[in-house]
Amino acid sequence: MANVQPTRSDITAHPDVSEMRDRYARMLGGRDVALVDGPVFLLGLYCAVSPWILHYTTSQPALVTHNLIVGIAIGLLALGFTRAPERMYGLSWAFCAMGAWMIIAPWIVGESPDAGVVLNNIIIGAVAVVLGMVCAATASKSGPKP
């Protein structure tokens, strides 16, 4: 009768073991921030659709376009964080700047915004600043060591 039990051999004898270990380390390196990618994407999605959720499409048409564009930019930044983290985490501080811009945008872009519009943008901006700082701090902590 044939032995059908799978045998587990030690991988240290594999000819490409060092290359496989290096690739595994590269794939996992710097992924401490992976938990932030999802919330950043969701924040961008909410920012893009918030004018329709809060119904200020007729009262603040400039802010509708603004929030749509900034929301798409935040979402694309999150996708970049996920797709190429080693290149994109330097933009974490730009994400903080986008959050600060979202806080002041109702008064600069909008025309006499009401309290709901202002509060919405302040919350989006504050969450973006916090997530950007977390992303930047984690990326700098888990970056390449000299």
Where residue 59 falls (left for φ over 0; alpha for ψ -120 to 50; beta otherwise) is alpha
More confident residue, 119 or 138: 119
Q: How confident is the model at residue 35 (pLDDT cuts 50, 70, 90)?
A: confident
pTM > 0.85: yes or no: no
How far is Cα 132 from Cα 78, in angstroms, rounded to an integer?
A: 11
What CA–CA distance (Å, rounded) separates 51 from 65?
9
- Does the pLDDT value for residue 71 go beyond 70? yes
